Structure 1
Amino acid sequence: MPQRVRRRNRGYGHGILTGVQAARGEFVAFSHADMQCSPADVFRAYERLLAAPDPSRTLVKGKRSARDASASLVTNGMAVLASTVLLTPLTDINAQPKLFHRSHLARLTRPPDGFQFDLYVLYRARQAGLTLLTIPVVFGERVHGQSKSAFNILARYRTIWATITYIFKLRFGGAA
């Protein structure tokens, strides 16, 4: 039976963290609930994780394909910036799903409440020496809800700016 684990919306990151903390499995996963991502991708990620030499030290994430040029430009630009500033290779930071051993939750000591949560999860995984693997995924049209980070051009730029600022805080401001 589904459980409601949040009382008020404190942001994307807080919602995801609350959900994965309530999960009871050895491995935890998260993905968008708007059906932009196929739930089957979580099962493919799980198969990839179990095939890894050390599943408890592995994080599997999506890598989007078949995207338009402007979306790819923003995604790749953010990945290059984050990789350069944080001194660790990162790709397609906000692709879904993300799946990892529940022990990684203990490393998420100062997670952001907002949309930078995915970046934080990947950065902490890299800091801990986890292996990051990818599976190809296709993001379709959003079936439910609307984007809170890119519903108009101003919101999109605010999200981009907040992420850029967060990248520098992670590296120089002790946000991790």
Structure 2
Amino acid sequence: MTRWLFLLIIVFTVGAAILYAYVGGFKSPVITITTTKAPIFLAGQAFYGSANDEKFGPLFRGVKDAKDQGKLRGELANIYYNDPEKARDTVRAFVGMVVADTVSQQLPAGYRYRVFAAGQRVVQARSTASYLVAPGKLYPAIADAAKQQKLKLRHVYLERFPEQGESEVLAVVE
């Protein structure tokens, strides 16, 4: 019986490793330090509260639904205005989509625009990993790059998760 249990554990572990590799979990992100050249416009909704708040998750689903129903055109994105790990699970965020401009489409009810300004110095982390594992790869890479370059993170992050292409996080630095 012990042999079968051991064999089952090995099969499960190999299967999990294959799945993790398939979604890009073993890919290292590409890090660059750059300055944003143009403003990035987002359409969405602001949130302030606990990451465990029952209202936080539906914001993401609402944005995806607005995109799927054709109410908004763009790619899924968020701006975080703090580091939730250091703020004891309190999140200050703007959940939405990157849009081309602020005039070409009408916003759904309750949605607003936000701008991630041009001219900001940022650490940019990019990866082809799935959005399911990308944040867990991109944020530590940003922290390591900032530490190595002796840059101070301002804890303003823009996350972009396009359906095709690379996931990206821009972290504003001083």
Q: Which category describes the TM-score, using the shorter chain as reference length?
A: under 0.3
Q: TM-score, normalised by structure 1?
A: 0.26
* The structure with more strand, counted as a fraction of residues: 2
> Over alpha carbons, which structure has the higher Rg?
2
* The structure with more helix, counted as a fraction of residues: 1
Q: TM-score, normalised by structure 2?
A: 0.26
